[in-house]
Amino acid sequence: MSIIFHAVQGLGRLASNKNYAILYNMAFGVFIHRTDSIYDDIPSEQYQFPKQYLSRAQQCEGDWIVYLEPSKVRQAKGYFAVARVQEIIADPRHEDMYLAVIEPGTYLDFGNPVSFKDDTSIVERGLLNDQGKISGRAQSAVRPLSAADFARILERGLEDETEILPRTGHPLSNGFREQPTGFDHLITQDRVVQLTNRAVRDRNFRRNVLRAYGERCAITGLRLINGGGRAEVEAAHIRPVEHDGPDIINNGIALSGTAHWMFDRGMVGLADDLTILVSRHSNDPVSVQGMINESHRLMAPKRSSERPRTEFISWHRENCFKI
């Protein structure tokens, strides 16, 4: 079955859920975030902003926003993620500051970060004034986003690229593997439904994790590419999705098939400093130790914002790792 079939099913589920806004009356928005932000931001959980943006943020309550890393940031990613705002609340720790609380499980990093500007124009067309120039609205950290611009950004951010699909044998339908479906013909409402689709989320999670780890197994250090030019490495969740683990880079590790199997079954784990731990329950601990890279520490991404978060590592160690 194709992604579109699953999306239609998902639309029915969303329509029956009273917690979701009516898809035809959605108010989209843009939240500007930078990795060196002075604000108390955790994009997958909350976005902090001053009172001056309160009315704009409230318009997005219950609806979807796109995160933008501004071009002033070195190696800026542009539009890099999408999430649904659950509610807007006053920040209990900071006077005159507010928090946009992100609905759990809705944050999704784009597999293809979208540049603010392409070869012909800016992607967010609503920022153009009558003369076709970029207006001052582009400086606003919180701003409304038209449905057309939202759809355009999603189309580019979630564009399918078959080279990042999991290797043959992974539990995805043959229809998805052989006939990946694009977003070109979908209306905005259908694009929103795609954001909750498991196949779409898995694909983007894999793409982002493999990119962050340079397509190299973080435990063995091996970077193997098969005859088709595809990386022989998998994107592993540290805290599994079935245990409320989010689809974010900080909850992912690139692992070879064997290392992934051992990690999921608690044969290996991680200390908070990313030292690789080997379970005493392993039937061949010497061989397992021999598979680990010579540093005996996880080969984490260079960007600190992409490294595993301590709370996920601790969860795995306390709930999966066999001491």
Kindly report the three-state secondary structure assignment for every residue of 88-157: EEECCCCCCEEEEEECCCCCEEEEEEECCECCCCECCHHHECCCCCECHHHHCCEEEECHHHHHHHHHHH
Are residue 30 and residue 155 in the same domain, yes or no?
Answer: yes
**Cβ-contact 219, 263 below 8 angstroms:** yes
Residue 20 above 60 pLDDT? no
Answer whether residue 175 is part of any domain.
Answer: no
Answer whether residue 127 is part of any domain.
Answer: yes
Answer whether residue 229 is part of any domain.
Answer: yes
Are residue 25 and residue 137 in the same domain, yes or no?
Answer: yes
Are residue 102 and residue 235 in the same domain, yes or no?
Answer: no
pLDDT value of residue 35: 86
Of 129, 146, 164, which residue is a domain's last?
164
Answer whether residue 198 is part of any domain.
Answer: no
**Cβ-contact 99, 48 below 8 angstroms:** yes
Of 107, 142, 164, which residue is a domain's last?
164
Are residue 28 and residue 156 in the same domain, yes or no?
Answer: yes
Answer whether residue 287 is part of any domain.
Answer: yes
Answer whether residue 226 is part of any domain.
Answer: yes
Write down the mean pLDDT value for the chain: 84
Q: Minimal CA–CA distance to 43: which of 100, 94, 95, 124?
A: 100
Any idea what the Cα angle at residue 133 is, between residues 124 and 64, rounded to 5°? 20
Are residue 157 and residue 217 in the same domain, yes or no?
Answer: no
In this prediction, what percent of the chain has a pLDDT beyond 70? 81
| Bridge pairing between strands 46-50 and 28-32 | unpaired
The total number of structural domains that make up the chain: 2
Q: Minimal CA–CA distance to 252: which of 315, 208, 303, 311?
A: 208
pLDDT (tens digit per residue) in 175-217: 333 344 444 445 566 667 778 888 889 999 999 999 999 999 9
| Bridge pairing between strands 252-255 and 97-102 | unpaired
pLDDT (tens digit per residue) in 91-150: 999 999 999 999 999 999 999 999 999 888 899 999 999 998 999 999 999 999 999 999
Are residue 12 and residue 158 in the same domain, yes or no?
Answer: yes
Answer whether residue 196 is part of any domain.
Answer: no
Of 164, 194, 225, which residue is a domain's last?
164
CATH of the domain at 62: 3.10.590.10
Higher pLDDT, 184 or 220: 220
Are residue 43 and residue 160 in the same domain, yes or no?
Answer: yes
Residue 157 exposure: Cα atoms within 13 Å on the Cβ side: 30
**Cβ-contact 274, 219 below 8 angstroms:** no
Answer whether residue 36 is part of any domain.
Answer: yes
Domain with 57, as residue range(s), is 3-164
pLDDT (tens digit per residue) in 265-288: 999 999 999 999 999 988 888 999
Are residue 30 and residue 153 in the same domain, yes or no?
Answer: yes
Are residue 97 and residue 220 in the same domain, yes or no?
Answer: no
pLDDT value of residue 120: 83
Are residue 125 and residue 11 in the same domain, yes or no?
Answer: yes
